Amino acid sequence: MKKNILITGGAGFIGSHVVRRFVNKYPDYQIINLDALTYAGNLANLADLESCQNYEFHKVDITNATEVEKIFQSKKIDSVIHLAAESHVDRSISNPLEFVMTNVVGTVILLNAFKAFGNIESGRFYHVSTDEVYGTLGDEGKFTETTPYSPNSPYSASKASSDHFVRAYGETYHLPFVISNCSNNYGSHQFPEKLIPLMIHNIKNNKPLPVYGKGENVRDWLWVNDHAAAIDVVFHHGKLSETYNIGGNNEWKNIDLVKKLCEIMDRKLGRTKGDSEKLITYVTDRAGHDFRYAIDASKLETELGWTPSVNFDQGFERTIDWYLENEEWLTNVTSGNYQLYYQKMYENRETL
Ligand code: NAD
Ligand code: TYD
């Protein structure tokens, strides 16, 4: 019998990579993609899967308990891979409640549905989470699976809360679960509100490149396909009730990353070296801006044998090429509401 695997948020950035990987690699799974298609969800990300027999899409908001239960009642769900979320820190600063609704309430609604109707005997509830739940680091050290939670943004507080609910359902109701906490992803199909696609879009259009504060904050970057591969491994081989950190061992100061991007874009666009860098504009910092994230992924590497498949140069070139080759995708997602978002978020930031 085919196993029914419910993936939430499958029309988003990371979700679409996970859905594609699972549909192509596991013909014996029926992949059920549940997504509300918010501004971040885009069925164009999955157009190539439309005719696949083992794939189906349902437009469902995970905060709607009735709709969620209907899906769980209509087919036995063996396992859930839960990615649906509000995911952008800046938006969480403007509208924290939306993050509580989707990330906390939505997660609890899914947990309830899985507990009532899912295959809790041999399936699992996999919560895909972020390293931001651990808070911020100074110059030294890395997050491990035992680092205490200390979220600083409304986004990370909502993800920390949903991690806690998942763990609490494990303890209280013996719900089988696994959690992973991953660092910043980059790759194709990322909505251009996040640093890398936003900068690519602005460089292409000769618009200012808004670097927050002094650009000295540090992020660890992982290619999205390698995150999808890690999710595959944790889903199939991760021990129940455990957490796995996922990272790229690839730390960059924001300003260095943006300068590297400018250099590559100059080359690819046939511009004179140094042209794009002139667009860099230091602007008012993000409120509560976490200084540094870094991940110790040795548990995943030693216990489950996962390592990233590409180095940063390879993944970054492929990513930039994808955005340059998929102009229509970028144009579609940056028309309409994106303009309003951009104005609201960047118009009032002071140039430093
Ligand atoms: P994204 O914003 O690109 O996509 C989120 C998806 O969830 C969209 O398809 C959206 O339509 C859907 N969604 C939002 N609200 C919903 C709701 N109420 N009901 C149903 N669907 C809804 O996000 P992403 O960057 O792909 O992140 C996916 C997951 O991975 C999130 O849980 C995020 O916290 C986590 N994560 C992201 C990163 C990263 O660097 N982007 C890193 C670590 C963990
Ligand atoms: P982002 O892609 O929003 O991811 P996160 O906040 O989850 O790490 O931002 C990555 C880093 O880039 C973060 O330190 C904030 C910074 N940043 C800018 O400097 N300018 C921007 O316009 C954006 C969106 C982010």
Cα–Cα dist 256/176, whole Å: 42
Report pLDDT digits (tens) over 280-320.
999 999 999 999 999 999 999 999 999 999 999 999 999 99
Cα–Cα dist 286/201, whole Å: 20
Q: State the distance from the centre of ligand 1 to the C-alpha of 274, rounded, in angstroms.
A: 35
Residue range 113-129: mean pLDDT, rounded: 98
- Selected catalytic residue, list 126, 155, 341, 342: 155
Ligand 2 atom with the shortest distance to the CA of 184: 8
Look at ligand 2, atom 10, and give the residue with the nearest C-alpha: 195
Q: How confident is the model at residue 1 (pLDDT cuts 50, 70, 90)?
A: confident
Of the candidates 115, 113, 144, the one whose C-alpha atom is nearest the C-alpha of residue 242 is 144
Q: What number does CATH give the domain 3-187+220-250+288-310?
A: 3.40.50.720
Of 56-60, 185-189, 334-338, minimum mean pLDDT range = 334-338
Angle at 224 between CA 286 and CA 111, to 5 degrees: 80
Q: DSSP E strands: which ranges in the chain?
A: 3-8, 29-35, 55-59, 79-82, 125-130, 177-182, 184-186, 209-212, 218-223, 243-246, 251-253, 280-283
Q: Which two tokens stand for residue 25?
A: 């690699």
Q: How confident is the model at residue 205 (pLDDT cuts 50, 70, 90)?
A: very high
Ligand 1 atom with the shortest distance to the CA of 37: 11
CA distances (Å), origin 251, targets 146, 149, 235:
21, 21, 26
What percentage of the chain carries pLDDT values higher than 70?
Answer: 100
Q: Please, what is the average pLDDT of the chain?
A: 97
Look at ligand 2, atom 12, and give the residue with the nearest C-alpha: 195
Q: Which residue has the higher pLDDT, 106 or 352?
A: 106
Ligand 2 atom with the shortest distance to the CA of 194: 2
Q: Is 184 in the pocket of ligand 2 (CB under 6 A)?
A: yes
Report pLDDT digits (tens) over 340-349.
999 999 998 9
Residue range 119-142: mean pLDDT, rounded: 98
Report pLDDT digits (tens) over 4-27.
999 999 999 999 999 999 999 999
Residue range 97-114: mean pLDDT, rounded: 98
Domain ranges for the chain, please list them.
Answer: 3-187+220-250+288-310
Residue range 177-201: mean pLDDT, rounded: 98
**Is residue 145 flagged as an active site residue?**
no
CA 263 from centroid of its chain's CA atoms: 26
Q: Scan for tokens 């504009």, then name that residue.
A: 281
pLDDT value, residue 31: 98
Q: Is 211 in the pocket of ligand 2 (CB under 6 A)?
A: yes
Ligand 1 atom with the shortest distance to the CA of 186: 40
Cα–Cα dist 13/15, whole Å: 6
Cα–Cα dist 283/209, whole Å: 9
**Is residue 155 flagged as an active site residue?**
yes
Residue range 137-144: mean pLDDT, rounded: 98
pLDDT at 336 over 90: no
- Selected catalytic residue, list 35, 61, 78, 131: 131
pLDDT value, residue 226: 98
Find the residues whose C-beta lies inside 6 A of ligand 1. Answer: 8-9, 11-15, 35-38, 40-41, 61-63, 83-87, 102, 106, 128-130, 159, 182, 184-185, 191
Q: Is 85 in the pocket of ligand 2 (CB under 6 A)?
A: no
Angle at 180 between CA 285 and CA 89, to 5 degrees: 20
**Is residue 69 flagged as an active site residue?**
no
pLDDT at 258 over 90: yes
Q: State the distance from the centre of ligand 2 to the C-alpha of 69, rounded, in angstroms.
A: 36
pLDDT value, residue 348: 87
